[in-house]
Amino acid sequence: MEAASISHAAVHDGHDHHGPPAANRSSRVEPELLGMLLFIISEIMVFGAFFTAYFFIRIAQGNPWPAPGTSLPVQVAGVNTAILISSSFTIHWAQTSIKNGNRFGLKAGMLTTFLLGCSFLFIQINEYANIGFAPQDAAQQTIFYSLTGLHGAHVFIGLLLLLFVTIRAFRGHYTPEEHRGVEVPGIYWHFVDIMWIIVYTTVYVL
């Protein structure tokens, strides 16, 4: 790469740049927001593949659901659903607060959302411990654990993001003008919530 280094020297002699020219903004959509939306499309497709497995095992194969001799805790999971959905509202509260310059609302909203998410995950793990069957037993159990587990992994990732945002909120980051760092993880959290409604409906209710 002799050639490249020579040209660099020439560039540095020529003018005194310390960074690139600002890129032209050719869309009203913010890059971070668009990136998150595209990532969510990918995530939806991951779930799509797992739902394909669910479709083949439950419907194409015609396996009884739930597997004979087992039952799914529909009510407990329903309470859990309510917990997760309410966390979507609390994160919205946090976002609205910081837009209006209410730092207490931001901190309280983020902390509540984080704790609600943690309780969801805690109840989910408890459910695994007490449900009375293992993924190794049969294909229905495999797909039950896989779909809820995949969603649980996403809750975990979402919780990490929320934790980072909460830490930063308590350290005094974010202003009414600059709060993208709350918005973008918030979109992910909403995605996790909506996906749970689909998982709950297909796996537990139907």
Partner 1 sequence: MAAKLRAPGFYRAGIMMLGGVALATGLTWLVRMTTGHATYSHYLSGDAILSVSLLAVPLAFLIGIGGFDYWFYWAAGRPTRPEDHSGHGAYSWKDYFRVNTDHKVIGVQYTVSSFFFLLVGGLIAMLMRAQLAQPGSHFVDANTFNGLFSVHASLLIFLFIIPVFAGLANFVLPLMIGAPDMAFPRLNALSFWLLPVAGALMLGSFFAPGGAFADGWTAYAPLSDNAPIGQTFFSVAVQFAGASSIMTALNFLVTIITMRAPGMSFFRMPLLVWANFATSLLVVIATPFIAASQFFVLLDRALGFNFFNAAHGGDVLMYQHVFWFYSHPAVYIMMLPGFGIISEIIAVKARKPIFGYRMMAFSLLAIVALGFTVWAHHMFTSGMAAWIRIPMAITTAIIAVPTGIKIFSWLATLWRGVLHLDTPMLFALGFLTTFTLGGISGVMLAMVPFDIHVSATYFIVAHIHYVLFGGSLMTIFAGVYYWFPKMTGRMYDERLGKWHFWATFIFVNLTFGPMHILGLQGMPRRVSTYAAKFTDLNLFISLASFGLGLSTLVFFYNIVTSWRGGPRAIPNPWRGMTLEWQVSSPPPIFNFDRVPTVVGGPYEYGVPGAVHGIFAPAPAPAAAGAAASVVRAPSQ
Binding residues vs partner 1 (CB under 8 A): 1-8, 11, 15, 17-27, 29-31, 34-35, 38-39, 41-43, 45-46, 48-50, 52-53, 56-57, 60-61, 63, 135-143, 145-146, 160, 164, 167-168, 171, 173
Q: Could you tell me if 154 and 91 are in contact, meaning their C-beta atoms sit under 8 angstroms apart?
A: no
Distance CA 85, CA 23 (A): 39
Of 145 and 200, the one with the shorter C-beta distance to partner 1 is: 145
What tokens does 14 get?
């020529």
| Beta carbon of residue 154, minimum distance to partner 1 (angstroms, whole number) | 13
Q: What's the one-letter identity of residue 80? A: N
> Tokens 């194969």 appear where?
61
Of 99 and 173, the one with the shorter C-beta distance to partner 1 is: 173
Of 82 and 125, the one with the shorter C-beta distance to partner 1 is: 125
Q: How many helices (H) and strands (E) does the chain have?
A: 6, 0
Of 47 and 81, the one with the shorter C-beta distance to partner 1 is: 47
Distances (CA, A) of 116 to 33, 41, 76, 103, 148: 25, 25, 15, 20, 17
| Beta carbon of residue 85, minimum distance to partner 1 (angstroms, whole number) | 25
